[in-house]
């Protein structure tokens, strides 16, 4: 086979795989120095009668998945077509499919199988929230990255709320993973995908498919027969897992889980019950731990116990970190750091850096870290990003659910933009630290995080809800007014929505209106707007920022996170549902800050001197400082 030299603007470097209708190539995008996968269909190989339908579906896949941005879904970058071929350019996943591993007789431990299913549910739940039904979930469409991350691929027969490419009566799917409605040719829905995930979970946990045999036999079983309870095939499974998987595989849609979140939560409970059933580890008390209990618990993390220094009484001692000193009140319990990295040498280095100042607990196992967090409060959690089974972004996202008042830091040696955005939107990561790190900088960031965490631990803010009307408004900085119009339509009845076409108009608007949230489209004039967001966060940390961009520059995104404490990111084209959700979350956070101003510390930043002293930024800073006294000011509380 002769390789084409190029497809579109992409240099072809090899073949990754072949399918029934096309070839997947490994390509190189020289414009941004990135390896890509290119799925190409040669039009001449298609029957003239089906050519139009196949190409329409192929184009539909690119359009459908191109708007899905999630760390569990293979990202689509580009689509192209000419007289000879049609092709989709997508993220290159360095790994193998789950089907490949199963064909190699790989047997997954219960915890590993559970993590695979949890990640698949996470990704498919996001797709469902965007109005996309996959309709062909199966092991060959689940990629397992070399670092353990799951990626869902091949939305070639996906259905969207606006799609008319298929109709009732079409039978689409893959035999062993099809739901009853697919065999019957009736309407598919999100529950169809959840049924397929139930089949995969059953297969991973028992080593057998719930339905097997010829096509006719499988159809008969899916429509009429109840599969054996999973615990009959694997005695290590809890009876609770039987109930969960039988519900996932129910014949009637109304008897199944109604969304991915519900399935994931109950599946996790069944998984925990199974692991506890087989656990040999001692049970730990759930009450607030003393030093000896923490040390005992640390042994569960495969870490050498750390010597605990005597507690000081009542005095405030300066902790020197780099160029500045941060005061920690040592009359409170010594802060606790949980460090997670798959490399022991990294953990050893971090432990030696922090053990004299904090209680330090380490592990290479993300699941053990989460189990530990369920029992003990950790003030600061620092996790690597690339780890087997559970990536750091996933760990920090789940740790937020378990321990919302912990401060989370991502320690990373590479920049995956989708993962970075996901960690901010779902995990609310406080800072990103790049490997290799600077010890002084790292100590400064951790000391800041500890100070915040100790304050958060002592703060008891009452629950708040959005009122019918708010005085503080949302400022939309948007050159073409599109985002402004959408935002006004979404929340105009709740609070003022103010429009600014540029930086000058934004600063003028803030002179007359209390602002709770800034929504900034940074694609045009991003340097000035970025400077404003950084300086605004320095002077008014209670204001939440939502950034909208098409940028693929992960370094810019990390810079905005670290220096402007961006609350949420949205990619273009903007998903309206997500925009509304993010704005509501930001307004709620603003109300919490009003009620408990000490919490604003979580978003306070100190900018580098070169940022504060530039002539451009000084002018912006002077304008922002002139606002003092006009709004709720957390710094004066």
Q: Which residues form the catalytic set?
A: 136
- Counting runs of H as helices and runs of E as strands, what totals does the chain give? 22, 23
Burial of 32 (0-12, 13-18, 19+ CB in 10 A): exposed
Judging by DSSP bridges, how do beta strands 380-384 and 316-321 pair with one another? unpaired
- What DSSP letter does each residue of 280-346 carry, written as one string? -SPP---SPP-HHHHHHHHHTTT-PPPPPPPPP-S-EEEEEETTEEEEEETTSPPPEEEEE-S-HHH
- Are the C-beta atoms of 490 and 580 separated by less than 8 Å? yes
Looking at residue 91, what DSSP letter applies?
A: E
How many Å from the N-terminal Cα to the C-terminal Cα in the chain? 72
Contact 407, 457 (CB under 8 A): no
Burial-class residue 480 by CB neighbours within 10 Å (0-12, 13-18, 19+). exposed
Among candidates 224, 67, 123, which has minimal Cα distance to 77?
67
Which residues are within 8 A (CB) of 3 and not within 5 positions of it... i.e. 6 or more apart?
12, 14, 15, 25
Please state the length of the chain: 637
Site of tokens 């620092």: 382
Give the strands of the sheet with 150-152, arranged side by side.
95-97, 142-145, 150-152
**Radius of gyration, alpha carbons of the chain:** 26
**DSSP type of residue 513:** S
Question: Rounded to whole angstroms, how far apart are CA atoms 9 and 6?
Answer: 7
Name the strand (E) or helix (H) holding 519: strand 515-521
Helix (H, G, I), strand (E, B) or coil at 256: coil
* Separation between Cα atoms, residue 576 and residue 171, nearest integer Å: 32
Distance, CA of 502 to CA of 521 (rounded, Å): 10
> Is the C-alpha dihedral spanning 277, 282, 287, 288 positive or negative?
negative
Contact call for residues 122 and 425 (beta carbons, < 8 A) = no
Beta partners for 171?
none
Give every CB contact of residue 418 below 8 A, 6+ residues apart in sequence: 69, 70, 71, 75
Q: What is the rounded CA–CA span in Å between residue 568 and residue 579?
A: 9
Answer whether 195's CB lies under 8 Å from 248's CB: yes
Q: Decide: residue 31, CB within 10 A, 0-12 exposed, 13-18 middle, 19+ buried.
A: exposed
DSSP, collapsed to helix, strand or coil, labels residue 188 as coil
């Amino acid at each position: 086979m002769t390789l084409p030299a190029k497809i579109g603007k992409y240099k072809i470097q090899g073949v990754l795989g072949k399918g029934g209708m096309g070839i997947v190539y490994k390509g190189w995008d020289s414009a941004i120095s990135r390896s890509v996968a290119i799925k190409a269909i040669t039009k001449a190989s298609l029957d003239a009668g089906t050519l139009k339908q196949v190409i329409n579906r192929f184009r539909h896949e690119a359009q459908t998945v191109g708007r899905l941005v999630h760390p569990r879904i293979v990202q689509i970058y580009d689509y192209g077509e000419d007289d000879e071929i049609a092709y989709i350019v997508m993220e290159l996943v360095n790994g193998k499919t789950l089907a490949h591993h199963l064909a190699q007789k790989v047997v997954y431990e219960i915890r590993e199988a559970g993590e695979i299913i949890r990640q698949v549910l996470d990704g498919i739940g996001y797709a469902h929230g965007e109005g996309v039904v996959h309709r062909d979930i199966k092991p060959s469409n689940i990629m397992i990255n070399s670092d353990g991350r799951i990626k869902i691929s091949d939305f070639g027969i996906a259905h969207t709320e606006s799609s008319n490419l298929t109709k009732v009566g079409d039978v689409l799917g893959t035999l062993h993973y099809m739901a009853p409605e697919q065999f019957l040719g009736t309407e598919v829905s999100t529950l169809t995908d959840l049924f397929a995930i139930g089949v995969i979970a059953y297969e991973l946990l028992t080593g057998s498919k719930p339905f097997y045999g010829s096509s006719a036999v499988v159809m008969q079983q899916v429509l009429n027969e109840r599969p054996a309870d999973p615990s009959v095939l694997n005695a290590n499974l809890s009876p609770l897992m039987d109930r969960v998987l039988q519900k996932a595989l129910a014949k009637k849609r109304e008897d199944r889980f109604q969304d991915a979140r519900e399935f994931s939560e109950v599946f996790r409970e069944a998984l925990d019950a199974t692991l506890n059933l087989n656990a040999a580890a001692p049970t730990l008390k759930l009450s607030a731990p003393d030093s000896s209990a923490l040390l005992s618990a640390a042994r569960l993390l495969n870490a050498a116990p750390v010597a605990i220094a005597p507690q000081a009484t009542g005095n405030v001692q300066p902790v020197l970190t780099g160029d500045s000193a941060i005061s920690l009140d040592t009359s409170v319990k010594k802060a606790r750091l949980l460090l997670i990295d798959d490399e022991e040498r990294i953990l050893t280095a971090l432990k030696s850096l922090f053990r004299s100042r904090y209680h330090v607990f380490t592990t290479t196992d993300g699941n053990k870290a989460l189990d530990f967090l369920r029992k003990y409060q950790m003030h600061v959690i620092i996790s690597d990003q690339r780890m087997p089974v559970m990536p750091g972004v996933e760990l920090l996202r789940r740790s937020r659910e378990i321990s919302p008042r912990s401060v989370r830091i991502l320690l990373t040696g590479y920049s995956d933009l989708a993962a970075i955005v996901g960690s901010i939107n779902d995990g609310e990561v406080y800072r990103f630290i790049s490997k290799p790190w600077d010890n002084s900088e790292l100590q400064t960031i951790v000391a800041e995080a500890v100070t915040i965490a100790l304050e958060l631990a002592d703060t008891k803010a009452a629950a708040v809800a959005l009122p019918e009307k708010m005085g503080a408004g949302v400022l939309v900085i948007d050159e073409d007014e599109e985002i402004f119009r959408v935002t006004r339509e979404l929340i105009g009845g709740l609070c003022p929505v103010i429009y600014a076409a540029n930086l000058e108009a934004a600063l003028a608007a803030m002179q007359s209106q209390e602002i709770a949230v800034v929504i900034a489209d940074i694609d045009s004039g991003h340097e000035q707007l970025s400077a404003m967001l950084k300086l605004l966060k320095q002077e008014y940390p209670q204001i939440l920022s939502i950034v909208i961009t098409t940028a693929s520059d992960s370094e810019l995104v990390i810079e905005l996170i670290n220096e402007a404490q961006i609350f949420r990111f949205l990619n273009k084209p903007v998903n309206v549902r997500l925009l509304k959700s993010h704005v509501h979350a930001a307004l709620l956070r603003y109300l919490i800050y009003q009620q408990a101003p000490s919490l604003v510390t979580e978003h306070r930043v100190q900018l580098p001197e070169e940022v504060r002293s530039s002539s451009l930024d000084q002018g912006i800073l002077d304008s922002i400082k002139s606002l003092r006294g006009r709004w709720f000011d957390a710094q004066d509380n």
